[in-house]
């Protein structure tokens, strides 16, 4: 049973390391990804803003806030 748990943990971690994050750049907040996220947010009536204690380099640290 323990080897199965270890294998599942390794598979889960390898998926994280693959860079399959949000956006086209694996979660890095590029100009194009930020622009697309802002446009999608504006279409919903909101504004894209950096979350409290967020890192400007990561797209996941931004949130669409209602106006």
Contacts of 17 (CB under 8 A, 6+ apart): none
Nearest to 58, CA basis, from 36, 34, 38? 34
Neighbouring CB atoms inside 10 A of 41's CB total 19
What does pTM read for this prediction? 0.62
Specify the pLDDT at position 56. Answer: 94
Domain ranges of the chain: 29-67
Tens of pLDDT, residue by residue, the chain (67 residues):
655 444 544 444 444 433 334 667 788 899 999 999 999 999 999 999 999 999 999 999 999 999 8
């Amino acid at each position: 049973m323990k080897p199965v748990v270890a294998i599942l943990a390794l598979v889960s971690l390898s998926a994280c390391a693959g860079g399959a994050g949000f956006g086209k750049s694996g979660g890095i907040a590029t100009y194009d990804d930020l622009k697309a996220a802002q446009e999608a947010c504006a279409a919903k009536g909101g504004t894209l803003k950096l979350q409290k204690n967020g890192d400007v380099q990561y797209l996941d640290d931004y949130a669409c806030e209602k106006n």
